[in-house]
Structure 1
Amino acid sequence: MFYFKTFILLSLISIQVNAQKSVLSGKAADYKTKEITFYTIPDPVLRQKLELASTKIAIDGTFSVALPISQTIEIYTDLEKYCGTMVVEPGENYTITLPPFSLRTSNEAHSSYFKPAPFWLGLPAGDNNDLNFAVRSFVVDFNSETVKNTVSIYQKQSKEVVNEIIGRLEAKYLANKNEYFKTLKNYYFAELEYAVNQRTPEFVIKKYFATEPVQLHHPIYQRAFETIFSDFLRKQSQDIQNREIVHLTNSGNYLKLVSLFESRGYKKEFAELVVLKGLNDGYYSNTFAKEGVMKAIEMAQTATISAILQPIAHQVKRKLSLLAVGGKAPELRLSNLKKSQVTLDQYRGKFIYLSFFNSKSSDCRAELDSIVSIEKRLRQVLTVVSVALDDDFDAAVKLWNSKGYKWELLNGSKQKQLIINYNASITPAFYLIDPDGALKLSQAPSPSHGLEPLFLKMFRDYNFKRQRN
């Protein structure tokens, strides 16, 4: 936990150095008494939410919140069916309007496929010079151009049509010299050029990325970078001319990986960003040895030259090691039905089948029912613990009482850090923890998808190994 807080602090520092207060205020009567949180996405490698500030809407619907930021960034707020967004400049004050409150359905709330609809936060008092209006105008024009030319761009891959679109948009927005806006425009164009140059991506990479400043916090830079460099190390290694990438990664040689991309004309900072992204994405592939990836990331923690990339190297290491098989299971301290505090250490010496669920989810309820027979048969050798992530723990208690489940129920309501630590934003989620407190299966199969035979084999192997030692 100390490491996580340290690295989040590093990300916050990178945003808040020389920070100025930007104040958002407004009135939203249908959100009264609700808490809303504003966040940003600080980098294109992990793309994790970084909370900036929260505020509770007053009973009369008014709200005001100050965001400490040092550079122009895009911020977001999750509002059930909507994701509100806007661009915020340091030291500026904004009066905003929120979308009408619309509660997600139970299926939407627990579906991995549901994505809140993007919503540009209203700016009723903004003047025409506000950066948000320029951004929104450009996005509308860009989308209009691409829709009208979909066949030419995405089927015929016409470079001529793409150049014509870029020319028209450049001419229309030539007068806007705002740096944030120019970067936004540039990387929209990068995405467009990539669409017609996917067979020769190096053309786009050299034009827009290789020697240009890294723009970690810019959302369109992030999106274009993700489009081009997702799983980049693995994809590059498939080319017979790049087979050394596999050797360098498996041997954990971060510095030589960076040098490889520098030899292609990438500036060092950008080469480091590409390698960090590639290591993060490649960890779960079958191409690279996990031990080699982790060794390379450990080297990156001290060898990375760029100050803005060092926190990312630390966070990638933490993320990949946190739920790695063989690593210590993340700590938890939660209340049970008797309101007693429970920790994993209390079960030391036993195998634990740890599940995360939401009682509103039909999938979760079905899997809880599937646990019943397994728990009854294996309770001498397997301890089942379930963590309810319901906003209202009483709903889970009611389910427990009506079903008569016999195993431990813990209250995980509003435990944001726990959800992050166990990657449990989508439920149900399951983990098997061995008697030494280490993760044995991460994630584990659900009870209805082969848990029992796999556990019994692991149980026998674990005991056989102990007897031999």
Structure 2
Amino acid sequence: MNLKKMKLKTLLLFFVVALSLQVIAQSPQSVIITGTAPDYRNYEIQLYRYADAISKTKELVSTISIDAEGSFHSTAKLSATTYCFADFDAYRAFIYLEPGKEYELVFPPLKQIPASQKRNPFFQAEETAFALKNSSANDLNRQIQQFELAYLKEESRYFNQIFNLQSKAAVDSLKANLSIQFSQSNNTYFNQYLFYRTAFAEYALHQGQSESFVKNYFIDHQPNLLIPSCHRLFRQLFNDYFSFESNQIRGTEFKRLVARADLNGIEGYFANKKQWDTNLSQLVILQSIHDAYSQGQFSQGSLLRLLDTIDASNWPSDKKKIAKRLKERLTYLQTGSDAPTIKLTDFSGVSQQLSSFKGKYIYLNFTRVANPICRQHLDQLKQAGDVLKQQVQILNLILPEEASKQELILQQNWPGEFFIINEQAADTYRVTTLPMAYLIDPSGKLVMSPAPNPLDGFEQQFLNLLKQNRLNELRQQGR
């Protein structure tokens, strides 16, 4: 009897210790980031991670403030290994951070570009890994870089056999060679990265159009889409999947399910026709809503109703959070949504929030007074009629490099008030070209997003808006 009690106590102690270790592993731990970057003196660089890989909502991990001597020291709190990135100048620099570790960063060579170039919708940042000083042999960043070099070497060696001859034996050899070289790692994150990265050689044989391939990588193994190699393979397989499935020979049935926002029907379709498990079906649905929203094949209203249905369903909370973030992203700056508030600073240095302007329509005019085209649009505002002048408050927003243009602005006597904004405010309104405008109603909602520029018929469209609002009021009174 005593022996039984001792065994029971030992077993209970084992579970308590195991649970304690799990709690400790999941608790946030400090990450220290240090280094020197003399070329980046006085820079302030935000390091982000993704909340999820589908909505790609950014979450701030740490701010790296580089002092006047070029030194920096910052900390972050992380509970799991995390892919992080920072956008600065021409770069998107990334790093894998592990809880409880210290990193001495080496910045890439300074490569400054004009802010206007970064706002260009066709701009693509140069992706690069942060180099590390004095990193150990088992550092995750070093392991991944060494693996990528080895993978490219093996892929080059077997390129013709894999991509031209479709040789499975060549794929097996590539995977076996890499497995031998990198079999000693006890880093779970690295092993998952390797597992999904080597899958690309197998993917080349049949473009992923194999039930066994999908089963092996996304059903038998639960995918972590925040691992870049896993997310990249997922995107290769399921990119624009609603469109893909609707365009099949018997795709009309599926297209109807999406048009009706029939969430249960879509899940049942994937379960019965594809033999997918619940987790994969839900991930593909979320990614497909994201992909389809701007494609035009499906009604945006139907796709938003799908997200609302997910929110009211019994889906897991993590998937519901993705759906919520996705809806926020898809409807961001849409007509009818709340106008994001930004800080506006006048020439005296006094700042206020955009949200403090209430009671009138606001014409938010992002402009550049040194630009001849922008000046022509500003001149057109001088010709505005009485209705526009009485009901619309014009806020002309310029970037810091034009703060010295106060005298020119006063001489021209352009309508409205002028304020200086920072690059972050311009990014908040996704300003890609100048001039660019938005119209905000008295309640703070976007009613023209974006709005026409002055020479492109803004005044006429505004008068039409007032007319339509008046007609709607009369209809309501007549009911």
- Whether these two folds match at TM > 0.5 is yes
Paired residue type of 1:441: M
- 1:36–1:199 Cα change, 3 Å: closer
Residue number in structure 2 paired with 1:372? 378
Unaligned runs of 5+ in 2: 1-24
Matched, 1:441 2:448: yes
SS at the partner of 2:132?
A: coil
For residues 462 and 48 of structure 2, what CA distance do their matches in structure 1 show? 40
- 1:108–1:425 Cα change, 3 Å: closer
Q: How does 1:149-168 map to 2 (within 5 A)?
A: 161-168=170-177
Q: Identity percentage over the alignment?
A: 24
- 1:179–1:64 Cα change, 3 Å: same
Deviations 1:137-195 (A, max 9, x none): 11122234445666666677665554443343233223334211122122223344334
For residues 280 and 155 of structure 1, what CA distance do their matches in structure 2 show? 34
Equivalent pair of 1:23/1:94 in contact (CA under 8 Å): yes
Unaligned runs of 5+ in 1: 1-15
For residues 155 and 87 of structure 1, what CA distance do their matches in structure 2 show? 35
- 1:332–1:22 Cα change, 3 Å: closer
For residues 165 and 217 of structure 1, what CA distance do their matches in structure 2 show? 25
Residue number in structure 1 paired with 2:40? 31
Paired residue type of 1:276: L
For residues 454 and 162 of structure 1, what CA distance do their matches in structure 2 show? 61
Equivalent pair of 1:387/1:412 in contact (CA under 8 Å): no
Matched, 1:62 2:66: no
SS at the partner of 1:40?
A: strand
Query: Of the candidates 274, 297, 309, which is equivalent to residue 307 of structure 2?
Result: 297
Q: State the shift of 1:31 in Å.
A: 1.9
Residue number in structure 2 paired with 1:419? 427
- 1:328–1:90 Cα change, 3 Å: closer
For residues 206 and 454 of structure 1, what CA distance do their matches in structure 2 show? 54
Query: Of the candidates 295, 320, 344, which is equivalent to residue 310 of structure 1?
Result: 320
Equivalent pair of 2:398/2:418 in contact (CA under 8 Å): no
For residues 71 and 270 of structure 1, what CA distance do their matches in structure 2 show? 23
Equivalent pair of 1:83/1:119 in contact (CA under 8 Å): yes
Matched, 1:220 2:229: yes
Residue number in structure 1 paired with 2:283? 273
Q: Structure 1 stretch 169-178 or stretch 63-72: which is displaced more?
A: 169-178
Deviations 1:68-124 (A, max 9, x none): 111111222223122222211111112222123232245533322232322322222
Aligned length: 447
Question: What TM-score does the superposition give when structure 2 sets the normalisation length?
Answer: 0.80
For residues 236 and 417 of structure 2, what CA distance do their matches in structure 1 show? 44
For residues 346 and 141 of structure 1, what CA distance do their matches in structure 2 show? 58
- 1:260–1:166 Cα change, 3 Å: same
SS at the partner of 1:443?
A: strand
- 1:26–1:319 Cα change, 3 Å: same
Bigger Rg, structure 1 or 2: 2
Equivalent pair of 1:211/1:266 in contact (CA under 8 Å): no
Residue number in structure 2 paired with 1:252? 261
- 1:25–1:253 Cα change, 3 Å: same
Residue number in structure 1 paired with 2:216? 207
Q: How does 1:443-462 map to 2 (within 5 A)?
A: 443-445=450-452, 458=465, 460-462=467-469
SS at the partner of 2:95?
A: strand
Matched, 1:78 2:84: no
Residue number in structure 1 paired with 2:54? 45
For residues 117 and 203 of structure 1, what CA distance do their matches in structure 2 show? 36
Equivalent pair of 2:261/2:302 in contact (CA under 8 Å): yes
Q: Structure 1 stretch 53-62 or stretch 151-160: which is displaced more?
A: 151-160
- 1:288–1:61 Cα change, 3 Å: same
Cα RMSD after superposing both structures? 3.5
Paired residue type of 2:309: M
SS at the partner of 1:76?
A: strand
- 1:166–1:283 Cα change, 3 Å: same
- 1:143–1:461 Cα change, 3 Å: farther
Equivalent pair of 1:375/1:384 in contact (CA under 8 Å): no
Question: What TM-score does the superposition give when structure 1 sets the normalisation length?
Answer: 0.81
Equivalent pair of 2:116/2:432 in contact (CA under 8 Å): no
Q: Structure 1 stretch 30-39 or stretch 108-117: which is displaced more?
A: 108-117
- 1:430–1:240 Cα change, 3 Å: farther
SS at the partner of 2:447?
A: strand
SS at the partner of 2:382?
A: helix
Equivalent pair of 2:368/2:374 in contact (CA under 8 Å): no
Deviations 1:355-375 (A, max 9, x none): 435678xxxx35523523542
Equivalent pair of 1:57/1:63 in contact (CA under 8 Å): yes
Equivalent pair of 1:110/1:427 in contact (CA under 8 Å): no
Q: State the shift of 1:250 in Å.
A: 2.9
Equivalent pair of 1:20/1:70 in contact (CA under 8 Å): yes
For residues 405 and 262 of structure 2, what CA distance do their matches in structure 1 show? 49
Matched, 1:173 2:182: yes
For residues 344 and 151 of structure 1, what CA distance do their matches in structure 2 show? 61
Residue number in structure 1 paired with 2:110? 101
Equivalent pair of 2:54/2:286 in contact (CA under 8 Å): yes
